[in-house]
Amino acid sequence: MERIRPTRGTHMNSLRLHSAFGLLLRPAAAAPVGVSTAVHGLRAFSATTSSQSAEAAPSPVPKPKTWIPNPTPFVPNVQTFLTLIGRDLKSHASKFPSWDSLFSLTSEQLRELGVEPPRSRRYLLRWRDKFARGEYGIGGDLKYVKGGKAILKLVEKVKSPELRLRYVVNVPEGKEVEDLPLSQQVRAKGFKVRGVDKITGPYVLPLKGGRAAVLKVTEGMWEDKRGHKVDGGERRRAEVRFKRGVAERKARREAQGLY
């Protein structure tokens, strides 16, 4: 039998097949030592950083509670507070069951209770904050108050023949200045002495005999007065004045018999 000799093309194809099978069956080459170590270190660093970030993440800060101030002798309840700040807010006194509710309700809750218009709510919230900070109106710091009345007395101290110190103190009803210890003879803020023995100040009423006066809780004592619109305010002033001028000129012509 004649032996068939492989051709050159057949031999080349056989080599290519062996090479292909060799690549498929060859085990994957291991990564260099340096690269493997770097990858492992990066993964460890990422895991550590993630755990540290989770531990260091700050917990949500709780919302601070509303600060509720204590009533004072001059402002012992809701009715008195709303009466003092004015703007007819005392008509809403029945909507607040307690002192705490007056100082804790939000603007939205006040709206639901019917405190209108919005500027009245803003005004009430502003006075709430002022009172909580100890920023009172006249008489707010007085200590001896009974039935909404505070008695004021004149104190005169002679420092020298040329110098006399006079100031106003708050005393309990029926008491004299001499009945109080010196430590309790604290000046009443916002009041002055005029002339010989006259105590003056906002809403102060003198008592018989001089050297004494009384301060009573009055509606609007602490009210922040609103500005008064002149001729309709800034937006309507030109229109209002123009129409007024037209009416005045028409009236003059009618008086002269020109119409």
pLDDT by residue, tens only, the chain of 259 residues: 445 555 555 555 555 545 544 554 555 444 454 545 544 554 555 555 555 554 555 555 544 566 799 999 999 999 999 999 999 999 999 999 999 999 999 999 999 999 999 999 999 999 999 999 999 999 999 999 999 999 999 988 887 777 888 889 999 988 888 888 887 888 899 999 988 889 999 999 999 888 899 999 999 999 988 766 677 777 788 888 888 888 888 888 888 777 6
> For residues 141 and 170, is the Cβ–Cβ distance under 8 A?
no
Put residue 95 in one of left, alpha, beta given phi > 0 → left and psi -120 to 50 → alpha: alpha
What is d(CA 14, CA 11) in angstroms, rounded to the nearest whole number? 5
pTM: 0.63
- State the angle between helix axes of 78-85 and 118-132 in degrees (0 to 180), rounded to the nearest 10: 110
Q: Which residues contact 241 (CB under 8 A, 6 or more apart)?
A: 231
Give Cα 219 distance to the centre of its chain. 24
Give Cα 99 distance to the centre of its chain. 18
> For residues 149 and 215, is the Cβ–Cβ distance under 8 A?
yes
- Percentages of the chain per state (helix, strand, coil), in multiples of 5: 45, 15, 40
> For residues 140 and 221, is the Cβ–Cβ distance under 8 A?
no
Question: Side-chain half-sphere of 59: how many Cα atoms within 13 Å?
Answer: 2
Q: Where do runs of H (alpha helix) occur along 26-148?
A: 33-56, 78-85, 99-104, 107-113, 118-132
Give Cα 12 distance to the centre of its chain. 91
